Chains A and B, each alone.
Chain A
Amino acid sequence: MAGVERRPRLASVVTVLFFAWLYAPIVAVVVFSFNSIRSLSTFGGVSTRWYASFFHDDSLIRSLLASIAIATVSAVGALVLGTMLALGLERISSRTGRAVGAVTLLPLVTPEIVTGVAALLFFHGLGLKLSLLTVTLAEITFSIAYVTVIVRGRLAAMSPEVEEAARDLGCTPWQAVRLVTLPTLVPALVGAGLLVFALVFDDFVLAFFTTGVDPQPLPVRIYSSIRFGVSPAINAVGTVVLAFSALLIVLALVAPRLLRRGGAGGLDLITGGERS
């Protein structure tokens, strides 16, 4: 029947339109970052002048470095605290564990704007001057939940007998965690760390509320520069950030597979990615 044959074609057209709608703006950013003229609507030939102007803009570079620093410190901080939380939750009684576990997830569902305002008021109340430190503290607080969810997922798949086997073979409880539990968790930790880095690196809302004046995290810096007129240099910045984030996401997806054959790790647990 004709109708049956046409339907898939319609579906593929819709799919193409959907992806076009989704990615056209991003493609435009990438394309226009190589524009040789100042226009944001006509393409005047290929050039890297906007990249040059980006790399010569000290303030933009400082923002880029600041964002990398914030994301790195946040990833490490959230990994340490989130893993400790996950290990702790594993050891307390199951009912308390479930309750505390649910509370841990709250940051994931709280609107970020609320978290942002709350963080701002909190730092203000403490009398802390807004700076990269306050941004980082806010981002860590926000990211712990991601790490905890991922690590708990992996811990749940790990038999408690494994840690007991370590103790049976001569490990103190701490050595059992260090020599057996943590190494087993490595793929999940790598995935979680990369995920937090990617999330924090381009986070705008939380950064906007908690940052000081200079240097600002890159997303905030871009936003403020746009308010004074759009320079095509922004496209170059956008493309660099995009490439960087894409690289991290790919790493987050691939690293656990490379580190451990089989089983879920890292991002799989969030994306529901297929298990090998």
Chain B
Amino acid sequence: MTIPPPTAQTPLHRRPAVPGQPGEARSPGPESAVRLRGLTKTFGGQTVVDALDLEIGRGEFFSLLGPSGCGKTTTLRMIAGFSDPTAGTIEVGGEDVTSVPPHRRDVNTVFQSYALFDHLDVRRNVGFGLRRKGIDRGEADRRVAEALELVQLADRARDRPAQLSGGQRQRVALARAIVNRPQLLLLDEPLAALDLKLRRAMQLELKAIQREVGITFLFVTHDQDEAMSMSDRIAIMHDGLIEQCGTPEDVYENPTSVFAAGFIGTSNLMPGTYRAGRVHVCDGLAVPVSGEGLVDGESVSVAVRPEKIWLSELTDAMVRVPGRVAASSYHGATTQYLVDVAPGVTLTVLEQNLPRMRPEDRWTKGAQVELGWLPEHGVVLR
């Protein structure tokens, strides 16, 4: 993707959002906003970030998603320059910045704690970076006003951070970072401190702002919904390694590891042994799969998403398994069933409550059912 870098002439909030198209050479210079090569960090013998390779395109909204302690913050701190990598290199905008101190990197951070300057009012907080860069007063004031407009805080310009609510502080932190128009904006769980409703609202707002300013966002979260709904691409991180990287759809539909399948959404995992086009899960349950690249006797798992399993209108093309409903729970838009298909193997099935369905159409506990899913929805994981 190529989106022209912000220029001094275009007002921040009026710059047209240029749709990124592969191969379209709109801006000179490298295609990637950031490129990590073999980035490694060890703390006293413990490897926290393990030879990370990652490339993020210009203007991309990229999420780093992973459980607590997997090394997300550590990665961000190395990119920002607060922490020296044990090994590997960091390039920002094609320039190797591995040993450049933070104040000379064209990268800004939105901290989880917001880290606003309590002794300065909102306006001065936002203008802080511009002043440091020696941007002249009039220009700086104009850009600060624009940034505050963008985050809808123009009327709070003279307040101290202590007088603002959590959501407003969050937006000041965001304005303070984007006003500098960095090559790359790092956001470390910026919404984690907000309550659910405000968080949903801020997700939409953040995404809209990112589209408007066209700055590359590297967004850290451990909330998979957040990552799914906002990102152009997601990297799933686990124990310092990137397990999988791709578009939200790609990562969801085609998980490449057991961890990825379990971390994004829920998956029915059926571990077994591959033999002659089927994964033998247990006696009486052998799931046909496309056996591409598999050898007989290999231990694999089949993962099927709960909403990909059908309980009615099955077709011949489907993998079909008989079972018995062990539990059902009604969730408004959906109904969730737990179905025993073999001793010790229970599958979760999520059925849409469609308009034409009546209450008596729902399965009850103990009902004998037949489940089915299309072969391509049974993902084989090693």
Contact = CB atoms under 8 A, between A and B. Distances in A.
B238 interface: no
B118 A165 contact: no
A170 B103 contact: yes
Contact of B103 (A161, A172, A180): A172
Interface string B109-151: 1011101111110000000110011000000000000000000
B109 A168 contact: yes
Contacts of B116: 162, 165
Contacts of A161: 111-113, 115
A118 interface: no
B117 A184 contact: yes
Given A184-B117, A184-B118, A261-B160, A164 B82 contact: yes
Contact of B102 (A162, A164, A261): A164
Given A162-B117, A172-B103, 17 more contacts: A165-B109, A165-B115, A168-B107, A168-B108, A168-B177, A169-B103, A169-B129, A169-B180, A170-B129, A170-B132, A172-B101, A175-B132, A183-B119, A183-B120, A184-B118, A184-B119, A260-B119
Interface in B149-202: 160, 162, 176-177, 180
A89 to B, nearest CB: 20
Contacts of A184: 117-119
A169 B129 CA distance: 5
Contacts, number: 66
Give the interface size bracket for B toward A: 20 to 34
Interface of B: 80-82, 101-103, 107-109, 111-113, 115-120, 128-129, 132-133, 160, 162, 176-177, 180
A183 B108 CA distance: 22
B111 A167 contact: no
B109 A166 contact: no
Interface residues of A, number: 20
A169 B132 contact: yes
A171 B132 contact: yes
B119 A171 contact: no
A166 B120 CA distance: 12
Interface in A151-168: 159, 161-162, 164-168
Nearest to A262: B162
A164 B105 CA distance: 13
A262 B132 CA distance: 28
Interface in A235-265: 260-262
Contact of A261 (B103, B111, B162, B180): B162
Nearest to B118: A184
A159 B2 CA distance: 37
A139 to B, nearest CB: 30
Contacts of A172: 101, 103
B115 A162 contact: yes
List the 3 shortest-distance A-B pairs measured between CB atoms, nearest first. A170-B132, A169-B129, A161-B115
A162 B113 CA distance: 9
B260 to A, nearest CB: 30
Given A168-B102, A172-B103, A260 B118 contact: yes
Contacts of A169: 103, 108, 128-129, 132, 176, 180
Contacts of B101: 167, 172
A268 to B, nearest CB: 16
Nearest to B179: A169
Nearest to A162: B115
Given A164-B102, A261-B162, A262-B162, A170 B115 contact: no
Nearest to B107: A168
A40 to B, nearest CB: 52
